[in-house]
A and B are shown apart, each in its own frame.
Chain A
Amino acid sequence: MLVNKKLDINKAELEKRFADCGDIVAQSFTAGGRRFYITYFDDLVNRAMLENHVIRALTVDSHINGADMSDAEEFLRRSLSTADYKTTADLETAIDEMLSGNTLLLLQGYDKAVTVSSKNVPTRGVNPPETEVSVQGPRDAFCESIRTNTVLIRRRIRDTALKCRQLKLGRRTKTDAALMYIEGMADEKTVKEAERRLKAINADAILDSGYIEQYIQDNKHSPFPQVQLTERPDKAAAGLLEGRVAIVADNTPFVILIPAVLASFYQASEDYYQRWEIASFVRVIRYVSGFFAFTLPGLYVAVMLYDPELLPLDLMLHLAGARIGVPVSVLTEVVVMELAFEALREAGIRLPAAVGGTLGIVGGIIIGQSAVEAGLVSPMAVIVVALTGICSFTVPAQPLVSAYRMIKYFVIAASAMFGIYGFVIAVLCVMAHTAALESFGMPYIYPFGKRYPNIKNTLKDSIIRLPLSEQEKNEPIFSGDE
């Protein structure tokens, strides 16, 4: 609907649209013989700014400036003491702007609506990261304000090549989103594909980046995360400098990085702040631990059920002795212990931090110890489950850990049915699945499995991280596919 020159028609339309919206403020006033209508959402705007730079400017300062009241555009230019205002002939666009926290101003005899940027969205500010904690490195994390988040990134990359395309997602929520990339480094195809997928989102509500992830990922049936979520601005900036694309959305402290490959989930920001020897050592530990995070219980089941002779005789006898009196099979004790561990982990997440720690002690030590002493489970099963949990905690990305938690049961089932044979086949299936996955055209197991054009540089920052001085400058790691 277009803005009408008659103020009363526009006013009536707005009053109809915002009927029963008690949080709206609407006021008509006259200045210099021209009628005005101003409307905004209470507390969604910066009142001081509104009073001083809009209302006062129109009613008082315009007389001092001697603004020409007959020409609306000239009048606005000379009287409004803010540069951040827009005019639009479309009333829908103006309403959308108002819903975003801007102030809507209508003038009698002027067929355009004026939207003044006056957002004052409540936000919790910049706090330390909660899910990606590091010992060394910056302590700021993204928050729920899109603008704060883009500023945190731009503060780190002061380059005009850093582009930021604005989008609105969700028919009803109209969530602000920004597609950020470095021109010349990011693959143009990836940028276009990301924009296409974002625009293709057909949903009423986008309340978090998790929603966006589910709409834009390549394979909806895979447990593996195909986009990377981060709450660390340094990680997002590093991703952009690798040629990746960031999707920043309003109302979420998690920024999406695409494409995401398996190796990127094993990288932590801290890797680049430490000496390369330490970083490489820790990465190798992470990869090995990541493998055991989904294979260790299955391997234990396969060995104990089918191939105990794999183990040295003393160890085998010791383990067999420890199982004497345990009333359930190896498979049952491992599955039950794993499920108990999952329940414990889930309970720990929902509880306040102080109580969560206590729960960990109660669950992990007291219940585990009691179960062993009561002869319900063998000590080795407790050790295997605990080790699996510890291995999963070494992987820096929680979405990947969640995938491993699911896959672990598939490996256990295959091992229980076919021993080592089933175990190897299950692991091969997982490998085949990851080999088939792609993230925005990028193979998921990149940089492994093929000689990519920039493979030498990429391998310097894969399982091990060579000194930064040995990594080529200006060569993005993520650039195109096969």
Chain B
Amino acid sequence: MMKTNNISAAQVFAVLILDILGVGLVFMPSVTAPLGRNGAYAALAALGLGLFYTWLISKTKFKSRVLFALYAIKTAAAAGLLLRLFSELIAATLLKNTDIRAIAGVMLLAALYGASAGGRARGRLAGTLMPLAVTALVLCLVLAAKKADISRLMPAECTPYGAGAVFLASLVFFPAEFVYTLDEKPPSRFLTAAAALGGAVLAAAAFVWQLRFNRAFAFPILDLTYNGDFSDVLVRHRESLLLTVLIAAQYFALDSLMYSAARAADRLKKTKHAEFIAAAAVFLCCILPDSAESARQALYTVLAVGDGFFLVLLPVILNVKRLWSEKI
């Protein structure tokens, strides 16, 4: 297997879409659902912010070993907590009464195998999987939107909690940070296009969910899986179908986050086992929280602090600094 970090801009585009979907499908509806009818608008606003972040990231570069160390730790923690939430979701649907550690362990091993194959292999796999995943998701959303009630979206309100939720939801674009670890940055249009497409699918999911259900639920995305209208077809229950897309996207997001953490760790000290170390850290972060709720709260904290810094604050500071020095 050839290990290399270089992938084409089109492959970066595919990788980022799958990453955003993998993170967003588990995370975003949970953030926007408590907002009631404003949740869909929050998802739309988050998309706007996400586009801005990815554009900013494409202009940002840093070489500080301290920053790479922090980035590796933050990414491994986010990946672990995300894996925990995903495992809880699988345990609630497909594998009832199965140990969370077993569910997470299997996914982690598979993602570790993918991450160990190198950047090129990941790029090729993303290029192949992305069109299939996006098509399947859009199809599920279209079918789920058949009984939509537009009145559930009116009227929109602006609340302090809503603003916080918009910020939190916009952090689903944090996988875009992986370009920090690339030797060569792809053109910004590929990054923003990927964020636009991935974010649009997520916003559409938030809208469809709002139009159909508008209720509190642990994993709102499951509402869509249970209620897609596939009557009179061979497959009676749909949760496995949509969950298949979700599993694939989650696999990819986890694989990507682990790979990014490993590459960031490489900047500190080159080692052959960076992916294994990252996987161990991810697993530890996954099993540490005592419940799904505490994992969710921990993830919110990691994202708000960690990605608030790496996705928003750091790019703003570095770009302002760059512009200032250019002006001088």
Residues of A within 8 A of B (CB): 219, 306-307, 309-313, 315, 414, 417-422, 424-425, 428-429, 431-433, 435-438, 443, 445, 448-451, 482
Contact = CB atoms under 8 A, between A and B. Distances in A.
B237 interface: yes
Interface stretch (B102-110, B145-153, B167-175, B261-269): B102-110
Contacts of A418: 95, 98, 102-103, 106
A432 B94 contact: no
Nearest to B247: A424
Nearest to A452: B8
B236 A425 contact: no
B2 to A, nearest CB: 6
Given A429-B113, A432-B117, A309 B236 contact: yes
B125 A431 contact: yes
Interface string B129-159: 1000000000000000000000000000000
B247 A310 contact: no
B11 interface: yes
A424 B117 contact: no
Nearest to B9: A451
Nearest to B232: A312
Contact of B125 (A306, A419, A449): A449
A421 B103 contact: yes
A65 to B, nearest CB: 63
7 contacts: A418-B106, A421-B90, A424-B247, A428-B110, A432-B121, A436-B121, A450-B10
Given A419-B95, A429-B113, A450-B10, A435 B128 contact: yes
A432 B128 contact: no
Contacts of A306: 94-95
A428 B124 contact: no
Given A310-B237, A420-B243, A482 B120 contact: yes
Contact of B124 (A310, A313, A443): A443
A385 to B, nearest CB: 20
A106 to B, nearest CB: 52
Contact of A431 (B120, B128, B237): B128
B66 interface: no
B235 interface: yes
B127 interface: yes
A413 to B, nearest CB: 12
B244 A424 contact: yes
A395 B64 CA distance: 52
A306 B95 CA distance: 8
Contacts of B41: none
Contacts of A424: 244, 247-248
Contact of A450 (B113, B118, B123, B243): B123
B127 A449 contact: yes
Nearest to B107: A425
B27 interface: no
Contact of A310 (B120, B125, B235, B255): B235
Contacts of B114: 428-429, 432
A312 B233 CA distance: 8
A310 B248 contact: no
Contacts of A414: 106
B328 interface: no
B68 interface: no
B20 to A, nearest CB: 18
B240 interface: yes
Contacts of A445: 124-125, 128
B323 interface: no
Majority secondary structure of chain A interface residues (helix, strand, loop or mixed): helix
Interface string B67-105: 000000000000000000000001000110010001100
A417 B94 CA distance: 12
A302 to B, nearest CB: 9
B196 to A, nearest CB: 19
Contacts of B235: 310-311
A436 B121 CA distance: 4
B129 A431 contact: yes
A436 B234 contact: no
B310 interface: no
A200 B222 CA distance: 56
Contacts of B126: 449
A417 to B, nearest CB: 8
A418 B2 CA distance: 31
B125 A421 contact: no
A396 to B, nearest CB: 22
Contacts of A449: 11, 123-128
A150 to B, nearest CB: 33
Contacts of B107: 425
A313 B235 CA distance: 10
A311 B230 CA distance: 12
Interface in B1-50: 1-2, 8, 10-11
A443 B235 CA distance: 35
A311 B8 contact: no
B251 interface: yes
Contacts of B103: 418, 421
Nearest to B14: A449
Contact of B10 (A429, A443, A451): A451
B198 to A, nearest CB: 18
Given A310-B235, A425-B107, 11 more contacts: A307-B240, A312-B234, A421-B95, A421-B103, A432-B110, A436-B120, A438-B1, A445-B124, A449-B11, A449-B123, A450-B10
A438 B118 CA distance: 12
Nearest to A219: B1
Contacts of A420: 94, 240, 243-244
Contacts of A425: 106-107, 110, 247, 251
A315 B237 CA distance: 13
A288 to B, nearest CB: 14
A83 to B, nearest CB: 48
A379 B237 CA distance: 24
A291 to B, nearest CB: 12
Contacts of A311: 234-236
A100 B90 CA distance: 66
B117 A421 contact: no
B240 A422 contact: no
A482 B4 CA distance: 12
A422 B118 contact: no
Nearest to B120: A482
A310 B236 contact: yes
B251 to A, nearest CB: 5
A108 B121 CA distance: 65
A312 B234 CA distance: 6
A238 B69 CA distance: 53
Given A309-B237, A451-B10, A421 B94 contact: yes
A482 B118 CA distance: 14
B247 A450 contact: no
A414 B247 CA distance: 14
B234 A435 contact: no
A417 B11 CA distance: 33
A450 B110 contact: no
B8 A482 contact: yes
A451 B128 CA distance: 11
